[in-house]
Amino acid sequence: MPFIDVKTNIAFSKQKADELMNELCSSLKVIGKSEAYVMCAVNDGVKMSFQQNSDEPVAIVEVKLLGKATNDGYAKATENICKIMQSYGVSGKRCYVKYDEIEHWGMDSFMF
């Protein structure tokens, strides 16, 4: 039940945003999360800066997970996510990845 939320100052076409979301959904396999249950959002063209620079591409990728993963799993997922973002123009040094471990998660009147 992961949710990946990307905020970036890069503006994408619908096709590019869809491609990015598909790639990101696959990035969590290293922590045992099936892409069949991953939800993803891309908020592009956001006014953002990092190190007082808003001209260069920047992104924050927030990942919300049911339960926990190992530090090694998080490191591998972060590496995957940063490589994907780099292929879309964001340097790994300008991409933060944040994880939130969610204890309670529901869907369609069901609690996991």
Instruction: Give the pLDDT of residue 33.
Output: 85
Strand order in the sheet with 59-66: 39-43, 3-8, 59-66, 95-102
For 68-94, the pLDDT digits (tens) are 888 999 999 999 999 999 999 999 999
Q: Which CATH architecture has domain 3-107?
A: 2-Layer Sandwich (3.30)
Average of per-residue pLDDT values in the chain = 94
pLDDT along the chain (112 residues), means of 10: 95 97 94 88 97 96 92 94 97 96 87 82
Where are the chain's structural domains? 3-107
Give the orientation angle of helix 14-26 with respect to helix 71-87, to 10 degrees: 160
**pLDDT score, position 52:** 95
